[in-house]
Structure 1
Amino acid sequence: MSRALFDAALQAARDFHAAIPALSNFAPWPGDLHWAGRSPNPVPRAALMQSEPGEASDLSRPLQQALCALAPHLEWRLTYTEDEVGRDFLDRYGWFELAGPTGHYRTDKLRMTVGYWGAGLYYPWHQHGPEELYSVVSGGALFELEGEEPLTLGAGDTRLHPSERPHAMTTTDQPILTFVLWRGEGLADDPQMSPS
């Protein structure tokens, strides 16, 4: 594992955060970050993300490239079970915590995660305590939020999910790579599927 790749990805994330007002207004960049290191959990979706990351913008391309370089060295996680989302979803989805209470870098101020979903996946309705701001690094998807009109987002776009408000996402003909911020209580908690 190369610490330099992690530091490069963190710097690219910081630059992306500073360049998008919605991100910097949602939460300031944490001043208490320190390297924690996590054991890699390499998974097939890491190679998929590298080969099919989706279309980036000029603004998001440096972060996309830094994350793709880092993909084999990450502690990839899966939140859901096959019964909840299906085998195909699990084979083409994954996320990792770049920084937060249990991340590669530690901070108690917020949680910064990166998620990847392959093309043609439906991410069912779910919710969580912390407020969440999605930003699209590359690719795109249809984002749904209870009580709001669905939005199709692409590179550089953002979507706010209030605390405990159910939301869902569908990728279409391309995958999506996201940089996500959480703030508030329960930063280390996992999302839960919404009651049907």
Structure 2
Amino acid sequence: MEAAKAFHAALPAVAAFQPWPDDITWADREAHQIPAAPLVQSDPGFAAESIPAEAQVRALQQAVMALAPHAEWRLTYTEEEVGRDFLQRFGWFELVGPTGHFHSAQSRMTIGYWGPGLDYPWHQHGPEELYTILSGSADFMARGEEVRRLVPGDTKMHGADQPHAMITNEHPILCFVFWRGDGLADDPAMSPG
């Protein structure tokens, strides 16, 4: 939590997206492992050097790697929606939020991991979203926007109900994702793109 808070304070785009919640309480969630959880520890993706807030990005990446065996990992999607391979190399957990390790009604902050060469299909959700990249890279797509490759230290915002997708490159990607707005406890839904 301290690494997450320092990261939030060090990146102006993150602090501008939403203030740090003042209603955070420990929620004592049980660990839940999925196939991708060990991958976070063994290969979280490359961490670039000489990026904005490099120390805070690396500290949060290291904290996530240490936390991986103790997190309540989730998958959200079905095999019919994304395929078996995707589910073997994808996962996320809610650090802060309505159902997170730390409870907050003001914000949702999740950690997401996608293995190399994964196609994260078009999906959408009610809350606005800000992706921040801790390690790895991916090509991000959003309706009405040009494709953009993100690397460590980069951020990408998606509007409420804006369909978006991602394709990871030759390395895994580890992201710290922020949601704000109505529907913080809701899961994303697949969209036609």
Could you tell me which residue of structure 1 aligns to residue 51 of structure 2? none
After the TM superposition, which segments of 4 or more aligned residues of structure 1 sit over 6 Å from their partners? none
Q: 1: CA distance between counterparts of 2:32 and 2:2?
A: 22
Q: What does residue 5 of structure 1 align with?
A: none
Correspondence for 1:46 among 15, 37, 49? 37
Give the alignment partner of residue 109 of structure 1, picking from 99, 106, 121: 106
Q: Which residue pairs with 1:188 in the alignment?
A: 185
Using the TM superposition, name which of 166-175 and 39-48 deviates more. 39-48
| Residue in 2 that maps onto 1:73 | 70
Question: Cα offset for 1:44?
Answer: 2.3
Task: Using the TM superposition, name which of 81-90 and 51-60 deviates more.
Answer: 51-60
SS in 1 for 2:123: strand
Which secondary structure does the structure 2 equivalent of 1:108 belong to? coil
Counterpart in the other structure of 1:6? none
2:129 matches 1:132: yes
CA deviation after TM superposition for structure 1 residue 195, in Å: 3.0
Q: Distance in 2 between matches of 1:130 and 1:56?
A: 28
CA distance in 1, matches of 2:86, 2:70: 22
Structure 1 length as normaliser, TM-score? Answer: 0.94
Report 1:12-161 matches (<5 A): 12-57=3-48, 58-59=54-55, 60-161=57-158
Q: For the residues of structure 2 that align with 1:42 and 1:91, how far apart are their CA atoms?
A: 11
Unaligned stretches of 5+ in structure 2?
Answer: 49-53
Structure 2 Cα separation of the partners of residues 16 and 171 of structure 1: 23
CA contact (8 A) 2:34 2:74 kept: no
CA separation in 2, counterparts of 1:129 and 1:42? 27
The TM-score with structure 2 as length reference comes to 0.95
Post-superposition Cα deviations, 1:27-54, rounded to whole Å, max 9, x if no partner, equal 0001111101101101221111111111
Paired residue total:
187
User: What SS does the aligned partner of 2:137 have?
Assistant: strand
* CA distance in structure 2 between the partners assigned to 1:12 and 1:71 by the alignment: 14
SS at match of 1:120: coil
Q: State the percentage of identical aligned residues.
A: 61
CA contact (8 A) 2:93 2:111 kept: yes
SS class of match (1:39) = coil
CA distance in 1 between counterparts of 2:19 and 2:5 reads: 10
